[in-house]
Amino acid sequence: MQITSIGHAGFHIRTSAGSILCDPWVNPAYFASWVPFPDNSELDWKSLGDCDYLYVSHLHRDHFDERNLRENVNKDATVLLPDYPVPDLRRELEELGFHTFVETEDSVKTTVTNDKGSLDVMIIALRAPADGPIGDSGLIVSDGETTCFNMNDARPIDLDVIDEAFGHVDVHLLQYSGAIWYPMVYDIPRKSKANFAAQKRQRGMDRARSYIEQVGASWVVPSAGPPMFLDDDLFGLNDFGSGVDGADETSIFPDQETFLEQMRIHGTDDGERHRGLMMVSGSVAEFTGPALNEVSHPYAPHEVFGENKRAYLERMKEKFAPVIAADKATWAVDDGEPLLPPLRDLFEPIMAQSDLICDGIGYPVGLVMDDQTVVLDFPNRIVREPKEGEGKYRYGFRIAPELVRTVLRDDEPDWVNTIFLSTRFTTWRIGGYNEYLYTFFKCLSDERIAYADGWFAEAHDDSASITKDGWELQRRCPHLKADLSKFGVIEGDKLTCNLHGWQWDLPSGRCLTSKGHELRAERLDG
């Protein structure tokens, strides 16, 4: 099996039974704020796109690159489709011209066949509202000799299905770095922001190491790492490679070199052999079962990391300046027209369909767009002007009006996958993170909001218990049902679930991250 890194979460997997192109992202995403790191724009995308199978893990734009898929990928390729609750991914691919689909069943191995031979594949589909835009996934593929688990940035909660279906995993392609706007855009003191960023950075790497231990692969390739932030307004978000361990501890975006060093420090090695494998855009690795036969790079990887990283990012900033400028030219013009009417037309029908989510938000939310403020009054299910003397809202967003006008113009059903991931906004909150609020912003269509409201309405079984560090507690995390025997970390009276970093006070069972989501826990005697 030959595996080529094509940047970020993207890989090209070549076998004697056909090739699979995975998550081919090259064009800047999220209002031109994210660019693949290291640069992959010089790869031969026409050749890579001449594939037998296409796998797009989910609709986030650093995985689903509409322009690249349209211009460079063979439309006769068979699409390996995750088992998602709403058909948005299939619809988007069909609009681009793809017409042959294998509709997989969640976590069930299937065999795909063409005139070159057959491959065993399985897609683990995550379907909670918090997983991507109503879905995220990981792909396992075996050619009968080598098994590869391309987890990209999915966070599966049950990895036993892989061992049961495939046995040993030879190559694990693993996301390890942050992909979020917290805490960078929050209106909080700089020192607090740096502390929160360091905590989030470390939690993400801890979670990734937990997956390494659970999967137990012969080789681990850190992938789906940080993007490059090349716009002048965002350049400071990059990890510039400073600090004691070669990384900037105030950035939530550690790079591949940093995570490989974490693997060495924390002992996620196999005996005396380091299991981590560095691959950059264009690197090619040849595997036979658990054996790595050869790996080649288009350049020495150290040229883009460590002490060379800032200079590399400065060069990329100059290279991509015209590309970013061209993207900005496509944004809607702020013509000064009132935004209240179109926002009311967008949000109020969604509010009317989502009692559970609106009640979960529970308070008015402010949208500040230069000199216009619009209030999303979730308790009353209306969008309105501010009331006199209303004061500061518990949750609020400051967004440039041209970004809001652009998503309105484009009928965008997911502000998380556009405005928020761009980090081109600021926000504040009083109290904990509100999961319902961000779910609402992901689900701006009838199908999405109906699914999400129903998902939250389901009762989740918490009857199974585990014992851990002197406590008896429910096995499944109240947030997204992760197995706390594997992802739970107890420090004193506080439990952290490393899958998403949510925390609980064990004596009271109270969630420290968001309201609701109580945990059943009891201290053991002795």
Q: Where are the domains of the chain?
A: 2-323, 340-457, 465-523
CATH C-level class of 340-457: alpha beta
**Is residue 399 within 8 Å of 425, Cβ to Cβ?**
yes
The pLDDT value given to residue 313: 96
**Is residue 153 within 8 Å of 136, Cβ to Cβ?**
yes
The pLDDT value given to residue 461: 61
Phi, psi at 247, each rounded to 5°: -140, 155
Amino acid at 273: R
The pLDDT value given to residue 243: 44
The pLDDT value given to residue 152: 87
Residues of the chain with pLDDT under 70: 241-250, 268-273, 458-461, 480, 526
The pLDDT value given to residue 480: 67
SS3 265: helix
In our burial notation (b when 16+ CB lie closer than 10 A, e otherwise), range 23-33 reads: bbbbbbbbbbb
Q: Return d(Cα 403, Cα 411) in angstroms, integer.
A: 12
Tens of pLDDT, residues 205-230: 999 999 999 999 999 999 988 899 99
CATH topology of domain 2-323: Metallo-beta-lactamase; Chain A (3.60.15)
**Is residue 495 within 8 Å of 519, Cβ to Cβ?**
yes
The bridge status of strand 53-55 relative to strand 18-22 is: parallel
The pLDDT value given to residue 246: 41
Measured CA distances, 56 to 60, 63, 64, 242, 314 (Å) = 10, 7, 6, 34, 31
The tokens describing 440, both together, are 């609402």
Extended beta strands in 61-218, E state: 78-81, 100-103, 110-114, 117-126, 136-142, 147-152, 171-175
Q: Return d(Cα 399, Cα 427) in angstroms, integer.
A: 9
Selecting from 2.102.10.10, 2.70.70.10, 3.90.228.20, 3.90.550.10, what CATH number does the domain 465-523 have? 2.102.10.10
**Burial class of residue 87 in the structure, from the number of CB atoms within 10 Å of its CB (0-12 exposed, 13-18 middle, 19+ buried):** exposed
